[in-house]
Amino acid sequence: GENVEQHPSTLSVQEGDSAVIKCTYSDSASNYFPWYKQELGKGPQLIIDIRSNVGEKKDQRIAVTLNKTAKHFSLHITETQPEDSAVYFCAVHKAAGNKLTFGGGTRVLVKP
């Protein structure tokens, strides 16, 4: 089955700095890569996603890059703010089936 590794598990940054989270996956048939943000006591919220036919996608301060050859993708948050503090999960979806495989999560703390 699919295996998704996410690093780092915790990340502390100063407000205004950038944060980068990386995920690697094992199944080359995977074709959809969402990122979720989960605040304490809430459900995961989709913040950005990318499909396998695209190498990079950006939405304001958030960007995702995908390297299909190396089977890894990354979340980039620029100009971090305290409200970016949360747990972030990457996930991977295969072309067949309706299931996501999640990474282990990264706890991000933005220090004011």
Stretch that binds another protein, among 20-28, 30-38, 63-71, 74-82 (CB under 8 A): 30-38
Instruction: Determine if 78 is a binding residue for another protein (CB under 8 A).
Output: no
Contacts of 50 (CB under 8 A, 6+ apart): 32, 33, 56, 57, 64, 65, 66, 73
Distance CA(26)–CA(45), nearest Å, equals 24
CB of 15 to another protein, least distance (A): 24
Task: Say which residues have a Cβ less than 8 Å from residue 37's Cβ, sequence separation at least 6.
Answer: 44, 45, 47, 86, 87, 88
Binding mask 38-77 for another protein (x = CB under 8 A): ---xxxxxx--x-x--------------------------
CB of residue 43 to another protein, shortest distance in Å: 4
The minimum distance between CB 14 and another protein, in angstroms, equals: 24
Residue among 20, 32, 31 at smallest CA distance from 76: 20
> Would you tell me which residues interact with another protein (CB under 8 A)?
32, 34, 36, 41-46, 49, 51, 87, 89, 93, 95, 98-100, 102-105, 107
